[in-house]
Structure 1
Amino acid sequence: MRLAGGTPSAWPSGALSREAFCAKVRAEGERLYRDLPWRNIDDPYAVLVSEVMLQQTQVTRVLKHWGRWMAMFPTLDALAAASTSDVLAQWQGLGYNRRALALKRACETCSARFGGRLPDTHEGLQALPGIGPATAAGVMAFARNRPGVYLETNVRTVFLHELFPDRDKVADRELAPLVAATCPEDDARAWYYALLDYGAHLKSVVANPSRRSAHHARQSAFEGSRRQKRAEIVRVVLAEPGIGRDELARRLDAFERAAGRDGVDGAAFDSIVDDLIAEGFFREEGAGLRA
């Protein structure tokens, strides 16, 4: 196994050596391996779909959606050509609908400019809508088996648990060189699977080490939030294309009151709908809204 980087000067003193750390992750990864349907495939688009779905969403939920999505939109070009309403309808249940629109826009760009193929570099991937460093590194590692700094919550959990057991507020700028130094040049895919599976296990059996990261942020409550109101509006418009604003406002108000909350005032409703139109979720045709 050839490592992509040398031993960083900032390797934590008193922690496991790099060799011992890598050996432990490999062993735990083999013991805890999860045979997920988007693993060990060479289709960058299919991997990208899984990476976007898995952002802030549990694996168990993604398992219910990834296969159906791939059957509906089996290629990058198929997603690029799909209607916004079909894309949003297939995304329902995953949350954070913006991710679906960004994924579609990335595929539209690739279909128009790159012959229906994703770029084959980290930099090219990050130039697409909605693709940041971690998602780009995931596509490169899992679809192309190329090394990179794939730093997401489960990976972060392993490094914090093993190398920083007594520290809080560990910044990603400290972790990134360690991630780079341990990722093998010739087996990035298996290495990151091991980190993901060991990290997921750690989060289930110990107090979540990722909370000690300087980048950890507690997710805001969904119930009663603006995000929930947005999701409900999207659901209603998808179910009833052409619904007018007044009726949509009445439905949202009833939804809130049924949950024991105050109704929604007109300014808040208009603000949410206007945002959704500006972001490309809906278009206004005459007196009705359509995705």
Structure 2
Amino acid sequence: MILKQVKRNKGKINIKSFQNIVWEYYREKKRNLPWRNTANPYHIFVSEVMLQQTQVAKVIPKYKIFIKKFPTFEKLAKSRFSDVLFFWKGLGYNRRCRNLLEASSIIYGTYNGRVPKSVEALDLLPGIGQVTASSIYVFVFDEPKVFIETNIRRVFIHHFFKDKKGVDDKLIYPLVEQTLPINHPRDWYYALMDYGTYLGKTFPNPNRQSKHYTIQSKFTGSSRQVRGQILDILLTEKKITVKKLENQITGNRDFFQKALGELVKEKLVEREKDIVKIRD
């Protein structure tokens, strides 16, 4: 595909020109993703939480298994955390699993199992935040709401900030707002994300020009690796002494006490004197 440049009129953005570029790519190359082939608000909600910090390719198989095991907010809300964590395992950032369970309990108990039609209400749910609240709102209700995530940021920096560094999202936000169509915003955001994914594979990452760009630290040898190993062991062992748990860690044991303390504080793990277990 030959990339086109956005036309300008006296220095101003030609919105139609930009939209045409994005729509043209989407018509030719749109991705067939399982959460796009459903109108089920619960399925969409789960997918957005999974996609917060995990790549699409890794999410797809886990998502399919997860929604079969936990097909509704009610089913998930009534499940034990250890059971949910077992099917979450492999997605990483396991605090999201606890947040998803707690959010499902609130939606089931407070909203009768229906996703609240309010970004403000969604934002108050555990682990959601403004960006995910807005994306859930758009994808569930197909109503316009401005938000920026990594692929969207990449598109706007590529087309409108090519020679700039330290680009603040505050500069991108009004451009997203100007180009956001009132009709079918869901498809528009899908198009932006797909196009942004393409740009990331085709060009040096434009997001490096963002003020908010960070490089994720290596997983191997990190505290994150030890956290994951602790939870994996506890899913198998159920209850275990701290010493025995530490001896089974193959990652950097210097992080063990720190990682264990974090998991207890985040209510993923329960410790009573020398015994550790998953907190259900």
Change in Cα spacing, 1:167 to 1:13, as seen in structure 2 (3 Å) is: farther
Q: Which residue of 2 aligns with 1:264?
A: 253
Task: Please state whether the residue corresponding to 1:20 is helix, strand or coil.
Answer: helix
Q: Which whole-Å deviations, capped at 9, do the CAs of 1:94-130 have from their partners, x for residues lacking one? A: 1111111111111111222221222111111001111
8 Å CA contact retained: 1:42, 1:144:
no
8 Å CA contact retained: 1:32, 1:201:
no
8 Å CA contact retained: 2:223, 2:256:
no
Q: Which residue of 1 aligns with 2:151?
A: 154
8 Å CA contact retained: 2:234, 2:277:
yes
Q: Which residue of 2 aligns with 1:142?
A: 139
**Deviation of 1:64 (Å):** 1.4
Task: Please state whether the residue corresponding to 2:248 is helix, strand or coil.
Answer: helix
For 1:84, give the aligned amino acid. F
Q: Which residue of 1 aligns with 2:271?
A: 284
**Deviation of 1:284 (Å):** 3.3
Q: Which residue of 2 aligns with 1:4?
A: none
Distance in 1 between the 2:226 and 2:9 partners?
45
Q: Which residue of 2 aligns with 1:25?
A: 22
Q: Which residue of 2 aligns with 1:57?
A: 54
TM-score by length of 2: 0.91
Q: 2:206 aligns with which of 205, 209, 213?
A: 209
**Pairs within 5 Å for 1:10-49:** 14=11, 16-49=13-46
Distance in 1 between the 2:161 and 2:11 partners?
10
Change in Cα spacing, 1:264 to 1:228, as seen in structure 2 (3 Å) is: same
Q: Which residue of 2 aligns with 1:79?
A: 76
Is residue 167 of structure 2 the alignment partner of residue 170 of structure 1?
yes
Structure 1 stretch displaced more, 278-287 or 174-183:
278-287
Q: Which whole-Å deviations, capped at 9, do the CAs of 1:52-81 have from their partners, x for residues lacking one? A: 111221111111110000001111111111
Distance in 2 between the 1:55 and 1:13 partners?
39
Q: Which residue of 1 aligns with 2:128?
A: 131
Distance in 2 between the 1:12 and 1:248 partners?
65
Distance in 1 between the 2:181 and 2:270 partners?
47
Q: Which residue of 2 aligns with 1:98?
A: 95
Distance in 1 between the 2:263 and 2:177 partners?
39
**Deviation of 1:278 (Å):** 2.1
Change in Cα spacing, 1:41 to 1:232, as seen in structure 2 (3 Å) is: same
**Deviation of 1:207 (Å):** 0.5
8 Å CA contact retained: 1:169, 1:213:
yes
**Deviation of 1:23 (Å):** 1.1
TM-score by length of 1: 0.88
**Deviation of 1:271 (Å):** 3.1
RMSD of equivalent CA atoms: 1.8
**Deviation of 1:83 (Å):** 0.7
For 1:210, give the aligned amino acid. N
For 1:66, give the aligned amino acid. Y
8 Å CA contact retained: 1:170, 1:214:
yes
How many equivalent residue pairs? 271
Is residue 218 of structure 2 the alignment partner of residue 229 of structure 1?
no
8 Å CA contact retained: 2:153, 2:207:
yes
Q: Which whole-Å deviations, capped at 9, do the CAs of 1:152-200 have from their partners, x for residues lacking one? A: 0011111111111111111111111111121111211110111011000
Change in Cα spacing, 1:12 to 1:63, as seen in structure 2 (3 Å) is: farther
Change in Cα spacing, 1:161 to 1:251, as seen in structure 2 (3 Å) is: same
Could you list the runs of 5+ residues in structure 2 that have no partner in the other structure? 1-7
Task: Please state whether the residue corresponding to 2:276 is helix, strand or coil.
Answer: strand
Change in Cα spacing, 1:206 to 1:119, as seen in structure 2 (3 Å) is: same
Could you list the runs of 5+ residues in structure 1 that have no partner in the other structure? 1-10, 257-262
